Structure 1
Amino acid sequence: MTVTGTTLVIGATGTTGSRTVAQLAAAGHRVRAASRNATGGVGGQAGAKAITFDWYDPATHAAALDGVDRLYLVPPVGDSDPAAVMLPFLRQARSAGVLRAVLLSSSAIPEGGPAVGKVHQALPGLFEQWAVLRPSWFMQNFTGTHLHAAGIRADGTIRSATADGRVGFVDADDIAAVAVHALTDEQAPDTDLVITGPEALSYDDIAAITTEVTGRPVVHHQLSYEEMRDHLTSTALIPPEFAAMLAGMDRAIAEGAEDRVTDTVQHLTGRPARTFRAVLEREHAGPR
């Protein structure tokens, strides 16, 4: 059974936010699609009302919360201390009558950990119903606008400091499906959910599968932690502190921190998580 209400999706034009908006609207739920540059019909969904929202502009917050009883929260991108702007907003949301909040975090960041881990820690004390989504790395990192995808397109190279470490890469559509259930099921999970795909793959595996599916040679170029940190800073123009954190996550992968799979997608949606090969074949086939 699902419950009715109005969901504010923050980050509605992003990788998971756009998919969450689309899936909520397709299921007939009322959605407010929030982004810094709001346009009508976000994600092509006429049922979603586009509104302007900026984490760093409190003047946009009250209007975004008007009539909302649940939230999907995507932290501000590239901010190493998102709690500074998120926690005041979440306290305002609670006062405005929001009952349920679903936070997008990361499998690499535990409750109370750095960055969004501080928001994770605070969430149960702020809302009656809550969930924290902790997905593994996105499969779309190799097909969308991510640095890895750009490297594949530019010179057939994926650069990382992950060595031979494996990751349970997950489809962003599967993350959105879990988000929809966490937002609309009669009872919120009231826990954190580690979300992975069905298999753990190394970056060498990703390169091999990408080569097979696309017919274009792709290789994984292994960097040191320092080389990866500097690559992120110089190529992606990522702030040094955030680049160091990302490179550190690569190093943790090399040490086995992400070598796991979970059944979260199957448990909440009733279907298995998609494989990387299936997602790449879908994405390589063109627009859906």
Structure 2
Amino acid sequence: MSTAGTMLVIGATGTTGSRTTARLAAAGHRVKAASRRAAPVAGAEPVAFDWHDPATHAAALDGVDRVYLIPPLGDSDPAATMLPFLRKARDAGVHRAVLLSSSAIPEGGPAVGAVHQALPGLFGQWAVLRPSWFMQNFTGAHAHARSIRDEGIIRTATGSGRVAFVDAEDIAAVAVRALTDEQAPNTDLVLTGPEALSHDDIAALITEVTGRPVAHHHLSYEQMRDRLAQQLSAEFAAMLAGMDRAIAEGAEDRVTETVQRLTGRPPGTFRALLEREMPVLPSDPAVR
């Protein structure tokens, strides 16, 4: 492991950022935990940061040489916001950047794919994490988790397509290696769990582990797009619904060995995640 300096974790209170911050702090690294409200984070220095408020950027970057990048949420063109910041980060002394992207978005693809494409030209040391869909989408504050709790329903346009969902703990473990290893990966890393599951499989596993009946409702692309557009921009809703359609067509039906290779242990299973994060719920026959 290298003698890394101070690391800036953007989105330090989010799903992967909080776990990455905790792991870095536990290993004794100096960490600036960036969030809009500079929320306290154990073992780290809280700092205010807003992608859309450049006045917060200089203080966040002060003394930092490595940065973990969570793109601005819900932004269909994050490059317009992120690239000016990344150029400022390079000029401020940051020499390694680790970007959270998605297995569904290739280099040069839409949204954060443009940031992925630009990263090697900005930093000599870099990595792009491209995780599959998060297991925590079903247990945290995500729309799937809310509809499971409120209705016992998962709604997607994924059909019978399968996804090797990945535990955010494994993403964080890889992020720490990418930030702190002597040699940066200097590549993109596709991260998956150990098995590819359909949303029908997911619903069945949640039902089995929690005792709460959960069903997967199959929507068309158009139905999914229109449903998402009630809460998101039309452009972003269409992009997300398109990702569901890609799953239905088999785009995410793959398992990689990246987590095992970089962490030295197998990735966690969805059943293990449910047993750890989802309480056993009483069966409610009124909720279907």
TM-score range, shorter chain: over 0.9
1:133 alignment partner in structure 2: 129
Distance across 1 between alignment mates of 2:228 and 2:149 = 17
Secondary structure of residue in 1 paired with 2:193: coil
1:154 to 2:154 alignment: no
1:17 alignment partner in structure 2: 17
Among the aligned pairs, what percent are the same residue? 78
Offset at residue 239 of structure 1 (A): 1.3
1:211 alignment partner in structure 2: 207
1:27 alignment partner in structure 2: 27
Offset at residue 233 of structure 1 (A): 1.9
Within a 5 Å distance, the mapping from 1:49-198 to structure 2 comes to 49-198=45-194
Offset at residue 238 of structure 1 (A): 1.3
Q: For residues 154-203 of structure 1, what are the alpha-carbon distances to aligned partners after superposition, in whole Å with 9 as ceiling and x for unaligned?
A: 11000000000000100001000000000000001000000000000000
* Cα root mean square deviation, aligned: 0.9
Query: Conserved in 1, the CA contact under 8 Å of 2:13 and 2:39?
Result: no
Offset at residue 285 of structure 1 (A): 4.8
Secondary structure of residue in 1 paired with 2:47: strand
1:240 to 2:237 alignment: no
Alignment gaps of 5+ in structure 1 = none
Distance across 2 between alignment mates of 1:140 and 1:233 = 22
Distance across 2 between alignment mates of 1:207 and 1:260 = 20
Distance across 2 between alignment mates of 1:3 and 1:78 = 35
Query: Conserved in 1, the CA contact under 8 Å of 2:100 and 2:130?
Result: yes
Offset at residue 2 of structure 1 (A): 3.1
Q: Structure 1 runs of 4+ off > 6 angstroms?
A: none
Distance across 1 between alignment mates of 2:269 and 2:56 = 39
Query: Conserved in 1, the CA contact under 8 Å of 2:210 and 2:279?
Result: no
Offset at residue 64 of structure 1 (A): 0.5
Q: TM-score, normalised by structure 2?
A: 0.96
Distance across 2 between alignment mates of 1:190 and 1:154 = 43
Alignment gaps of 5+ in structure 2 = 281-288
Offset at residue 39 of structure 1 (A): 2.2
1:275 to 2:269 alignment: yes
Secondary structure of residue in 2 paired with 1:69: strand
Query: Conserved in 1, the CA contact under 8 Å of 2:162 and 2:248?
Result: yes
Distance 1:159 1:285, change over 3 A: closer
Distance across 2 between alignment mates of 1:105 and 1:9 = 15
